[in-house]
Amino acid sequence: MGNVRDLTERELETWRGFLAASTLLTRRVEQRLKDDAGLSHAQYEVLARLAAAGGCLRMTELAGAALTSKSGLTYQVARLAEAGLVDRRSCAGDDRGVLAFLTDRGRAALRAAAEGYSALVRAEFVDGLTEEQFSGLRKGIQALCAHLDNAGEPVGPPA
Amino acid sequence: MGNVRDLTERELETWRGFLAASTLLTRRVEQRLKDDAGLSHAQYEVLARLAAAGGCLRMTELAGAALTSKSGLTYQVARLAEAGLVDRRSCAGDDRGVLAFLTDRGRAALRAAAEGYSALVRAEFVDGLTEEQFSGLRKGIQALCAHLDNAGEPVGPPA
DNA sequence: ACAGCTTTGTTCAAATTCGAACAACAAGGT
DNA sequence: ACCTTGTTGTTCGAATTTGAACAAAGCTGT
């Protein structure tokens, strides 16, 4: 071990903390969304991305935005369509295409869930850190996303 | 919307970046471990925690350390036991208890995987950030973990 | 018009995750 | 000893995820 250059203790600790924090936060968000609105985080993300895009996206684009695989998106959109939160429409000009269309009920569900979601993110992710700590975290994450973008698929907030 | 205090644009962007980065990084780690050593990230984590604990832990402790549910751990330890990387032993002094015991093959597998794992974490998580950026990220994550610890279950690197 | 390559979305099987329910055991008080 | 309560791990079912394989369209150059 230690052939090239081992991670320092600080680096490893940071990485573990990063994993732990994301695991725990994701779990709590999941719980909250389920309780509040009966949505999974994946489903919330789909609705949020649709709304952000003006209410309509093609499946592939949506899969990219929601950070899921194509098959995963097919599954979740099917769930959301069953619940009437999303419509599947064919795509004008491309017979292969499928548009995921945010319904009024979908918008309503998103609005209903957003409140608690924001509150949770604020309580768990934002508050509890000083301005300086959050600022450092923010810049680090920005740099991380930029770095990940370079050597891979796009990532991070579409800005 | 915006009843209490909405997340600012910066806060939301940071949160999304955090989610995106963890999703993508986890996926890449998963891939790498699978290719290198045929282990899932969950399995690697189990082996790593066992090694860190001296080679032996009770199921419940291990579940806590590896950030998984008890049933999830039962599943993964069964997989690892099938592969001969871990042994299940009964616990002296407590007939309910089960000890997960890291075998020599388990240690070897961990050693074999650790190389590539470290390299990936270094390449994707550490490098690409300046000293200052990483330091800020590190402090932010530390504070985040501390905060998450307070209002919930333990989290973060056991230090 | 056509062959060849790419893109789109779905289907499928396999793996994994979680929580709830459960049985076995431990611990404490009476 | 006994009853009550708390722990420990496992089992079970349901939900979800992913990649590979696939069919149906597009697109390109000839």
Residues of A in contact with B12 (CB under 8 A): 121, 157
CA-to-C1' span, B43 to D10 (A): 19
Among A7, A13, A122, select the one facing B157 at the smallest CB separation.
Answer: A13
A63-81: burial string, b at 16+ Cβ within 10 Å, e else: bbbbbbeeeebeebbeebb
Closest residue on chain A to B159 (Cα): A13
Q: Alpha helices of chain A — where are they, by DSSP H?
A: 9-37, 41-52, 59-65, 70-82, 104-121, 131-150
How far apart CA A107 and CA A128 sit, in angstroms, is 31
The answer to whether some atom of strand C lies closer than 7 Å to the beta carbon of A110 is no
The answer to whether some atom of strand D lies closer than 7 Å to the beta carbon of A40 is yes
Residue-wise pLDDT for B28-86, tens only, equals: 999 999 998 999 999 999 999 999 999 999 999 999 999 999 999 999 999 999 999 99
Looking at residues B103-120, what average pLDDT do you find?
Answer: 94
| Biggest alpha carbon–alpha carbon distance for chain B | 58
CA-to-C1' span, B141 to C19 (A): 29
Residues of A in contact with B118 (CB under 8 A): 6-7
Q: Which residues pair with B102 in a beta bridge?
A: B86
Split at pLDDT 50, 70, 90, the class of B159 is very low
> From the CA of A94, how many Å to the nearest CA of chain B?
30
Q: How many CA atoms lie within 13 A of B86 on its CB side?
A: 31
Residue-wise pLDDT for A14-43, tens only, equals: 999 999 999 999 999 999 999 989 999 999
Residue-wise pLDDT for A40-89, tens only, equals: 999 999 999 999 999 999 999 999 999 999 999 999 999 999 999 999 99
Instruction: Give the residue from B12, B20, B143, B7 showing the smallest Cα distance to A119.
Output: B7
> Is the confidence at residue B1, as pLDDT, over 80?
no
The answer to whether some atom of strand C lies closer than 7 Å to the beta carbon of A28 is no
CA-to-C1' span, B64 to C25 (A): 21
Contact check, Cβ <8 Å, B21/A157: no
The answer to whether some atom of strand C lies closer than 7 Å to the beta carbon of A58 is yes
For residue A45, give the amino acid letter.
E
**Going from the N-terminus, what domains does chain A have, and what CATH number goes with each?**
9-128 (1.10.10.10)
